[in-house]
Structure 1
Amino acid sequence: MRTERRGLLPDRADGRRRAHRGGDGAPAEAPVVDDRLFLEDVRFFGRHGITTAEQTIGAWFSVDVEITLDLSAAARTDSLGETIDYGAVARRIVEIGMRGRVNLLERLAGLIADELLRETRAGQVRVRVRKLTPPLEGLTGTPGVELTRRR
């Protein structure tokens, strides 16, 4: 005698469907979401720094941001309302970077990270700030800092 199966999971004796379990017998958990929206190389000119040259001559800055949030709805619906507008994020980075002067790259990155975390529904924000043209004699590299902030 053949029993009728209505799906991939066998029925329980009481007529209810069995919950899917992982290989170890534990109930299946919701999938882990590890979605990220990112922008790279958002540039602005600023007078951030400690030295007189940094404050008067200024420098070009480059900012990369990585925003961690659930993008499942945006991937499903193709709706901007279900994600974060990266154009608005870029404008916000430039606004923060140009609205005053700070001494340290750490402070600038912290301001950007904290404001993006506050203004979006992100679970985590990672910000990398680089000073592209530091007016510092003898410096041949590109100084930078990376900060991560979580809810």
Structure 2
Amino acid sequence: MAASIKDDDDGDEMSEINVTPFIDVMLVLLIVFMIAAPLSTVDVPVNLPGSSAPPQERPEEPVWLSLGADGVLSLGNDPVELAALAAALEARTGGDRTTAIFLRGDRDIPYGELMTVLDGLRNAGYLKVALVGLESVGTEGGAAP
């Protein structure tokens, strides 16, 4: 008895192209480009500086100036008015205008309020201002005091 092998392919070439994987790949690429295209455009040209400076040591008793989300300005733990900021800093630093001021601003405050505080520091003669942020985990040189 002879065994016969059934061949579904009768030797003709398949004339159909399975385009489903091709369409899937194209749709994924379309989504990637739709997301990436707006991120790659820049409306305002900015030449950002690079920094390879190591994290700086903070003084033993830093002067902390904080601007909370509610707009309250605090020198250390004491609230202070912007008009009285120069006198409060003079009393805290002993009149030494070369003292670095560590400015902490809440992420939800408007940029204009932060600039008003920076202008107040400049008008008071304190030009060494360190902006304090969160230290990024896993990055080199991203340390904040």
* Interval containing the TM-score (normalised by the shorter chain): under 0.3
TM-score by length of 1: 0.22
Give the structure with the higher percent helix.
2
Give the structure with the higher percent strand.
1
